[in-house]
Amino acid sequence: MKVLVDTCVWSLALRRRKQKTTDEPHVLELQELIKELRVQMIGPIRQEILSGLRSPAQFKVLRDHLRTFPDLELTSTDYERAAELFNFFRATGIQGSNTDFLICAIAERHKFPILTTDADFIRFQKNIHLILHKPRPVETIPQDHLKKQ
């Protein structure tokens, strides 16, 4: 089953110093999902990952790496459901970004689990059916996968 990987996990893996993230469970899980060909990308997450890069060279390298992951085609229904979720949660006093609610809508429709470090999704999960993908225990990852690359 594919897993929708949130921007915060990509950011941990791609934009920060590798020394700090090599033992981070979400980064290790992303690496395993990539090896298993289970990562699902959407355009809005791609845009968030690529936004704010300081140099055109950084942008080009990261853009080219991310092209390995094709975007899921989004529909009007996805955007409508995201807006419905935004309105529902705002009325209950729970804030979230447009992209977060789009992720929720897509995850609902496709029954994709979400890999994220964003605690907002735990709050969303109390009111809508979401599956949050938890990183597997490090001891279950084959040792040859844990070697520094």
Q: Is residue 93 part of a domain?
A: no
CATH at residue 33:
3.40.50
Give me the residues paired with residue 120 across strands. none
- Report yes or no on 7 lying in a domain: yes
Rg (CA), the chain: 16
In a domain, 80, yes or no: no
> Which structural domain range is residue 57 located in?
3-74+112-146
For residue 148, pLDDT beyond 60: no
Give me the pLDDT at residue 14, please.
Answer: 83
Per the prediction, the chain carries an average pLDDT of: 91
Q: Please, is 13 exposed, middle or buried when counting C-beta atoms within 10 Å of its C-beta (0-12, 13-18, 19+)?
A: buried
Into how many domains does the chain fold?
A: 1
pTM of the entire predicted model? 0.88
